[in-house]
Amino acid sequence: MAAGAPVNYNSIENIPPPVQNVGLPTADEVLAAVEFSGQLKRRRIEGIQIPAVRIVESEIEALTRITQFGGGAVAPAWFNPIQAQLNLMQNQLNNIQLKMDAASHNNMSRLRNSKVMDGLHFGTIRSEMVGPNLNGVPPHFPINLEALNILMLAQLNQMEIFYGVQFEGANVVARRQAFATFIGCF
């Protein structure tokens, strides 16, 4: 049987041996994964041809679900690099979601802050920078115009670090103005 040819799923013996040195699991590992996961059921439908690659893809999907949700189950060793890559991708997706949440919140806050009058409270601006501050608010964030107008240089410096944004200006008053622009106030 030629490599990459469709496999008659009615007979597991017809699965061709894997190409060597490409990092794919052996036929025994695939069979062990099938037994281990219980996710890929034998389908004995006459005339259906399933490529061997599809069997491996199904097993990777099943093993991912089992290792994420499954009561102490341990995946075969060949799955470890795949799981590590999936974990990295999940972390990246989580960070993207947090950044989107922060950006959405900030858009609404900036709109609100553009209409703030004396005595009313600002909407907070969350950090959109990946890291420990992602989706957080700095401790010295001013609650209103009065608090904004008395921000000290050290507080502005801390907020620059927190947000990863520089509030430029020749003096503290100009830097307060740059910060006010950043939060949508002016």
73-87: per-residue pLDDT in tens? 566 777 788 888 888
Q: What is the pTM of this model?
A: 0.56
**42 or 164: which carries more pLDDT confidence?**
164
Q: How confident is the model at residue 47 (pLDDT cuts 50, 70, 90)?
A: very low
165: Cα within 13 Å, side-chain hemisphere: 17
Q: Over 90: is that where the pLDDT of 41 sits?
A: no
Euclidean distance between CA atoms 186 and 184, whole angstroms: 6
3-class secondary structure, 25 = coil
CA distances from 87 to 57, 92, 129, 136, 170 (A): 17, 9, 21, 23, 46
The tokens for 19 are 């190409």
